[in-house]
Structures are given as structure tokens and as C-alpha cells.
DNA sequence: TAGTGGTCTAGACCACGGG
DNA sequence: CCGTGGTCTAGACCACTAT
């Protein structure tokens, strides 16, 4: 037996998606839905809350609930560490640490990262090999102040992304995706030609406003892509 | 006065983010939290539901609730139509329709799109100019069966993305982001060199399993990027 | 001021799943 | 079996805001 609040959710969602109720239209008051479905107001409220999360409805005190204005195109992308993605796709994955050194953060980089010059960092360069082919260069900075255990970690057993995930829960992440030309160093490492298009992912992670890590991952354009599917119903109801 | 369920949410979130409670650790039973906070079980449940959505907690019947395993790096990216993005960034935006013709979908393309050959489509090519510079080529297919009004729409007033959003609520979207080399046609339109790196976004949209549109948008690599910030607390609590 | 949603209670029964 | 979470009730008071 399907829960009542899911039935309410689906009914209203269908009305909106079919165009039967248009943006700006008023949705029945909670009290009316209580009567229609013969349930309590909490149950109606749970359905409406899910519809708000789904982005289909806006609720306003005193005035009522309405079909939301058409939304921007928002998508959820899983931006995984390369090893996990490769394993899921059924490929073998390994990594090589190219550089590993402890430095202090210079003023220029500190400004870029919105951090403080002079703090100790671990700088790591790492090559990822998937299915026998070089698939990504990872250039990473880890703030030793936030992650002291990184000082003695070799990253041979698990690549930095995976190791960090197991060490530090993160509370905020920022991503940028760009297309760039391979510079000479990158081309040499990835065994591609200089100037070839590359997909460039930058990720900066914080734990409670303390920066954890900054990483720039460069993929050959012909060997990698990001994909995201947005199934709004599922995400709103966790089904 | 902050709602109780938000206080509970924040307290547990802090325990997890600080590392005080580690992945796999058991969270107090709902009954215990009811005692701790002197509130009803529904209130506790609301907080825990939000923590599940946030990805910090998993709940299991009979066994209890636990700190979730470290999550993959999931981010929410706003993939907006170019006009909206440009306006938000404070730039002037205009578009030119390069091609607009009604066709039937060929078998090869139909297979690519997981659609049916022979259906009527509207094919549109469109150039986006932001801040006076060509910033994107848009190559789009609209299924006239799903969106019959497109047959007579000129797309002069509003670019296709914006017009579609106002016409058709979508229920599923799939995105792919790649880096590619500019081919000759694209390079000419965008006034860049052939082979220059380009950021390529593919979006396919459905309304209740009926395909609405397929679009491929190509940006010069040096004039566009995607950015996403994930503030999990805000998204889970809608604050 | 009055109508609407926002939150909350103090219970209840049920479904699931480990022992 | 029985402890846990999943859902639900029939109310209640409060906060906000359009009028």
C-alpha cells in the first residue's frame, strides 16, 4: 500500500507536469486537501514539502500554495573520484604519485584559493591510469593544518581523493568545469598532443569554513566526460 | 526562535562533521532523542529525514540509524540557459537564429536519441552573443509531437531554451559535459580557430517519458565554464 | 484582523528484519 | 519474537502577511 503523502505528491505532480495546472495557479488549500484525501494536515504538509523540494510548488503564508514558475535547469552531477568511476564502469584503475612535497602557500596562490599565505600545504601530482590509458592528471593541494594526518600519508594504497574522503567529512564543495588546451607538461604526461582539448575539473572543499583541499584534474577530451541524470521525483521522495 | 527539528539537525550534523561521530557509528534511537530534546517523535523524525537527504545518515528498521559512509562527491550544478546566465552576470545577451526547418527524424539520429525514426522534428541552429562576443552555438531538435506549438514559433523574441521552459514542464533531464575540438563550421561561427578547445554540453529532456528536446551547446573554452557550489545544509533544510 | 502555512504534540498501528 | 523506523491522526498554537 502506497503511503498517502506519496499519492498526494504524485497526483499534484501529474497535474503540473501535464500542464493541467499552469505556473502561478493556486493549489488547493491544505485544509481542502485534508478533506479531499480524508487524511490529517501533517500528511498533506509532508507531500507539499516534497513538492517544494522538487521545485514544483511554492508556499506562501496567508495567500496559499502555487505552481512554481518554470525552473532553471538544475542537475545533480556525481563528480566521483576517478578510481570509483572506473570501477563502476568495469575498468581497471591504478595511479602513480608523480610529486609529493610539503611547502608553504605563496601569496599569489593564497589569493586564488581565498586562503592565507604562509600556511603549510602538501602538494601532490598524480597520474591516473584507467584501462591501461592515462586518463587524468591530478594536481592537488592539501592544507596540513586541516588534515594533519596527510603529512605522513604516502597515498600509495589509496589515491588522494579516496584517502581524503575517508579522513575528512566535508561540509561545502565548489566545482568548476572548463575546457582547456593541453600545455606541454600535461600533454607529455597524458601522452597526447600539445593543444589537444582537455576537460578540466577544479574542486575546492571545506570543512566548516576551513579549507581542506584544492584540486585540478585534467582529462584528455576524448577519454572522459561528465554525465548527470535528474530524476526529480526520486530525489524529492528518496524512493 | 529556531525550530526544534533544525536544532536537532544541526547538532547531529556538527557531531558528524567534526568527526566526533565516525562513519558507521550508531546514532541515538529516535526514542532517546525524544527524551533528550523533550519533543515528540515526529519532530525527531523530521530532523533525521533531513539528515538522510543531506546524505549524512542512513536509517534502518530494527537496527537503528547510523552515520553514513563517506559520500561520493555529488554536486548540484545550475545549467541555465545562456541568456539567464548572462543576465545574472551583468552582461548583455542576444541570439541569432541560423537555421530553422521541419524534418523527420532519420534512423541514425533516432537511435542516438533513443527515439523513433520518422517522427516530425524542428531543427534549430542558433548563435548566442554575450557581451558582444559569440559565446555559444546551439544545435537543437524539438519533437513536434510533444511540443506542437513549436511548429509556428519563430524564437525571435525568446531563445529556444527559454521559450521551451515556459511551454513544457519537464520531468527528467540528462546532461553530458565534454571537451571537444572546434570543427570547421563551429570555428567559423564562433570566430575561433579550428581545433580550439570547446566545452560541449548535451542536454536531453523528457516530459513523462516523451522526449521534449535534444540540444548540443558548444562554447569556446576560454569564454565559458560551469560552476557549482554545494551547500548541503541549505539544500536539505531549504533555508 | 483573518486566513494561510509552519511547527508541534502525544499518542497509535504497521512493516521490516535481526536473533 | 520484538525493537526499530515509517507512517499517520486530530487536534493545537504561532507567525506571517494581504487586506
Indicate whether B221 pLDDT > 90.
yes
Share the mean pLDDT of chain A: 90
Strand partners, A208: none
Q: Residue A15 is part of a domain; what is its CATH number?
A: 1.10.10.10
Tell me which of A17-26, B186-195, B214-223 is least confident.
Answer: A17-26
Whether residue A228 lies inside any domain: the answer is no
Rounded alpha-carbon distances, angstroms, from residue A205 to A59, A235, B16, B34, B114: 33, 23, 16, 34, 37
Query: Quick one: A166 and A204 in the same domain?
Result: yes
Alpha-carbon Rg for chain B, nearest whole angstrom, is 24
For residues A142-170, average pLDDT: 92
Q: Is the CB of B166 under 7 A from strand C?
A: no
CA of B22, closest CA in chain A: separation in Å? 9
Test the B interface: residue of A42, A45, A75, A203 with most B CBs within 10 Å: A75
Judgement on whether residues B60 and B108 belong to the same structural domain of the protein: no
What number of H helices and E strands is found in chain A? 8, 11
List the beta bridge partners of residue B134: B129
Residue A239, nucleotide of least CA–C1' distance: D6
How many whole angstroms separate alpha carbon B221 and alpha carbon A96? 28
Distance from A201 to chain B by nearest Cα, in Å?
10
Average pLDDT value over all residues in chain B:
90
- If one counts the domains in chain A, the total is 2
User: How far, in Å, CA of B49 to CA of B236, rounded?
Assistant: 9
Indicate if CB(A239) is under 7 A from strand D.
Answer: no
Which residues on chain A are in Cβ contact (under 8 Å) with B17?
A: 169, 171, 207-208
Question: Based on the domain organization, do A68 and A100 belong to the same domain?
Answer: no
Instruction: Select from B6, B17, B77, B147 the residue whose CB has the most chain A CBs within 10 Å, as the one to mutate to test that interface.
Output: B77
User: Of A118-122, A228-232, B15-19, B61-65, which range is least confident?
Assistant: A228-232
List, in sequence order, every residue forming a beta bridge with B124; answer none if it has no partner: B100, B140
**DSSP letter, residue A157:** S
Give B200 CA → C19 C1' in Å: 55
CA proximity to A4, closest of A58, A59, A42, A51: A42
Nearest C-alpha in B relative to A165: B70
**B149 and B211, same domain (yes or no):** yes
| CA A64 / C1′ C3 distance in Å | 9
Mutate to test the interface with A, among B228, B229, B233 (most CBs of A within 10 A): B228
CA-nearest of B78, B29, B82, B76 to B55 is B76
Nucleotides of strand D lying closer than 7 angstroms to a protein CB:
2-12, 15-18
Instruction: Say whether the CB atom of A47 is under 7 angstroms from strand D.
Output: no
Query: For residue B99, which of B140, B58, B67, B131 has the smallest C-alpha distance?
Result: B140
Residues B130 and B180 in one domain: yes
In the predicted model, what is the mean pLDDT of residues B162-184?
89
- Flag whether A77 is in a domain: no
Q: Which three cell numbers stand for residue A201?
A: 575539473
Tell me, yes or no, whether B60 and B92 share the same domain: no
* Distance in Å, alpha carbon of A42 to nearest chain B alpha carbon: 10
Looking at the fold, whether A129 and A208 belong to one and the same domain comes out as yes
B173, B205 in Cβ contact below 8 A? yes
Residue B166 sits in a domain of what CATH number? 3.40.1410.10
Query: How crowded is residue A60: how many other Cβ atoms within 10 Å of its Cβ?
Result: 8
What's the order of all strands across the beta sheet hosting A57-60? A26-27, A64-67, A57-60
pLDDT at A239: 37
Instruction: Please tell me whether residues A125 and A203 are part of one structural domain.
Output: yes
Return the pLDDT at A238: 42
Q: Residue B156: how many CB atoms within 10 A of its CB?
A: 10
| Mean pLDDT across A131-139 | 96
Render pLDDT for A4-46 as a digit per residue (tens, 0 to 9).
Answer: 999 999 999 999 988 899 999 999 999 999 999 999 999 999 9
**Residue A98 and residue A196 in one domain:** yes
How long, in residues, is chain A? 239
Point out the residue among B71, B172, B180 whose CB comes nearest to the CB of A197. B180
Question: Comparing C-alpha atoms, which of A49, A50, A59, A55 is closest to residue A75?
Answer: A55
Are A119 and A130 contacting, i.e. CB atoms less than 8 angstroms apart? Answer: no
* CA pair distance A21, A119, nearest whole angstrom: 56
| Whole-number Å distance between alpha carbons of A202 and A217 | 6
Q: Are residues B36 and B99 in the same domain?
A: no
Q: Which residues of A touch B114 (CB under 8 A)?
A: none
- Residue A208's domain comprises 82-220
- Give the pTM: 0.85
Amino acid at each position: 500500500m502506497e503511503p498517502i503523502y506519496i499519492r498526494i505528491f504524485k497526483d499534484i505532480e501529474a497535474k503540473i507536469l501535464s500542464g493541467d495546472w499552469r505556473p502561478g495557479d493556486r493549489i488547493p488549500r491544505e485544509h481542502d486537501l485534508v478533506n479531499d484525501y480524508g487524511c490529517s494536515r501533517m500528511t498533506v504538509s509532508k507531500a507539499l514539502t516534497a513538492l517544494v523540494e522538487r521545485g514544483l510548488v511554492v508556499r506562501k503564508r496567508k495567500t496559499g500554495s502555487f505552481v512554481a514558475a518554470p525552473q532553471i535547469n538544475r542537475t545533480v552531477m556525481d563528480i566521483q573520484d576517478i578510481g570509483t568511476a572506473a570501477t563502476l564502469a568495469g575498468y581497471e584503475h591504478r595511479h602513480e604519485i608523480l610529486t609529493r612535497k610539503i611547502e608553504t602557500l605563496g601569496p599569489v596562490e593564497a589569493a586564488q584559493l581565498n586562503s592565507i599565505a604562509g600556511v603549510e600545504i602538501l602538494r601532490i601530482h598524480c597520474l591516473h591510469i584507467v584501462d591501461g590509458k592515462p586518463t587524468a592528471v591530478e594536481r592537488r593541494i592539501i592544507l596540513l593544518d586541516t588534515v594533519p594526518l596527510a603529512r605522513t600519508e604516502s597515498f600509495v594504497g589509496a589515491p588522494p581523493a579516496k584517502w581524503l574522503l575517508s579522513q575528512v567529512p566535508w561540509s561545502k564543495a565548489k566545482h568548476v568545469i572548463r575546457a582547456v588546451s593541453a600545455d606541454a607538461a600535461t600533454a607529455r604526461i597524458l601522452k597526447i598532443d600539445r593543444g589537444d582539448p582537455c576537460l578540466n575539473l577544479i574542486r575546492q572543499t571545506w570543512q566548516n569554513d576551513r579549507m581542506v583541499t584544492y584540486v585540478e584534474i585534467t582529462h584528455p577530451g576524448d577519454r572522459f566526460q561528465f554525465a548527470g541524470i535528474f530524476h526529480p521525483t526520486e530525489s524529492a521522495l528518496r524512493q
